[in-house]
Amino acid sequence: MSALVLGHMNPDTDSIVSAIAAADLYSKRGFSVAPAAQGEPTPETEFVLRKFGLTAPRVVKDVAGKELWLVDYSDLPQAPAGMDSATILGIVDHHKLGDVTTSTPLEAWIWPVGCTNTVLKNMYDFYGVEIPKNIAGAMLCAILSDTVIFKSPTCTEADKKAVDALAKAAGVTDVKALGMEMFKVKSAVEGASMKDLVFRDYKDFDMGGKKVGIGQLEVVDLSILANVKDGLYEEIRKVKGEGRHSVFLLLTDIMKEGSEMLIVSDDPSVVERAFAVKPDGKSVWLPGVMSRKKQVVPNFEKAFK
Ligand code: MN
Ligand code: MN
């Protein structure tokens, strides 16, 4: 039985490409592994896979009894069913350390950088394994996606350095143009249901014992979302109704570099405590806020304490 390399729930481009790249690297190191994902690729990820001729990993929703390598997360709310009887062999990640535990020693590569694929690029170098051209291209896109083309405060020099090297390996000459092409695909909302949009990039967190959901949609211009905003609000009200204290949806304008946050909460004053701004009814504009991980989750964690 081969081990699975598996990213987080509601997989983004980083989770899916990390699984593909890590599975390539681990198999070249002699492990028997296969990439997997907890869901189908988003339109952005589909674009990346198509562009570089890769296939989406198979969808796995239960890992009972399996051996796992985790990529792009290490917390249980992002994990699939059956984790308690799975064996975690390793973690490659760039988030805060989560709450998974292991019964055996593991290989962990967790770096404070903008993208799991930046860590993986350095792992390829460490093990002296050459990155296949198509995987290099997809890894490059994952870094551009997670760092919002270097604009996110999560972006580090290591991410930029990895992008330079991966662009050379993949034969990509205009990295920013590729990034914008990808974000235009990501911005498209036609044909997607409100539920699809809310869960496209959505995570549940445990904050001071309360279940809090935070979703994010990144677009090249907020006007793209004008016609769906009311529908999105209705949808997060439903999601909150499924036993959550709060649900927040970040509508991020990557050109204006800020986010409008839609708010549904049992205690909306947490938003004021977290960001020192007074919400205007259902939403608030947060200038400069691009990163859920670095600018939103830590603030809410403090506010919920
Ligand atoms: Mn991710
Ligand atoms: Mn990531």
> CA-CA distance, 158 to 63, in Å (whole number)?
33
The helix-helix angle for 175-187 and 43-51 (nearest 10°) equals 140
pTM beyond 0.85: the answer is: yes
- The ligand minimizing its distance to the Cα of 16 is 1
Are 118 and 145 in contact, with CB atoms under 8 Å apart? no
pLDDT for 190 equals: 87
The mean pLDDT value for 15-25 works out to 98
The rounded percent of the chain whose pLDDT value lies above 70 is 100
CATH class of 194-304: alpha beta
pLDDT tens digits, one per residue of 178-187 = 999 999 999 9
pLDDT band at 102 (very low <50, low <70, confident <90, very high): very high
Instruction: Kindly write down the DSSP assignment for every residue of 40-51, as one continuous string.
Output: PPPHHHHHHHHH
Ligand 2 centre distance from Cα of residue 177 (Å): 21
Per-residue pLDDT tens over the stretch 150-175: 999 999 999 999 999 999 999 999 99
Query: Which residues of the chain are in CATH 3.90.1640.10 domains?
Result: 3-184
Q: Separation of 194 CA from ligand 2 center, angstroms? A: 24
For range 139-156, the mean pLDDT:
96
pLDDT at 1 over 80: no
Looking from the CA of 132 toward its CB, the CA atoms found within 13 Å total 14
Q: What is the distance in A from the centroid of ligand 1 to the CA of 201? A: 8
Amino acid 166: pLDDT: 98
Q: What percent of the chain has pLDDT over 90?
A: 96
Confidence of residue 293 (pLDDT cuts 50, 70, 90): very high
CATH code for the structural domain at 3-184? 3.90.1640.10
Distance, CA 13 to ligand 1 centroid (Å)?
7
- Ligand 2 (ion): residues with CB under 5 Å are 14, 72, 116, 146
- Judge whether residue 14 has pLDDT over 80: yes
In the chain, where does the domain assigned CATH 3.10.310.20 lie? 194-304
Q: How far is the CA of 7 from the centre of ligand 1 (A)?
A: 8
The one-letter code for the residue type at 19 is A
Q: What is the pLDDT of residues 207-265, one digit of tens each?
A: 999 999 999 999 999 999 999 999 999 999 999 999 999 999 999 999 999 999 999 99
Element (H, E) at 200: none
Q: E-strand spans in 53-104?
A: 58-59, 67-71, 87-93
Model confidence pLDDT, tens digit, residues 26-47: 999 999 999 999 999 999 999 9
Between CA 152 and CA 202 the distance in angstroms is 18
Residue 281 above 90 pLDDT? no
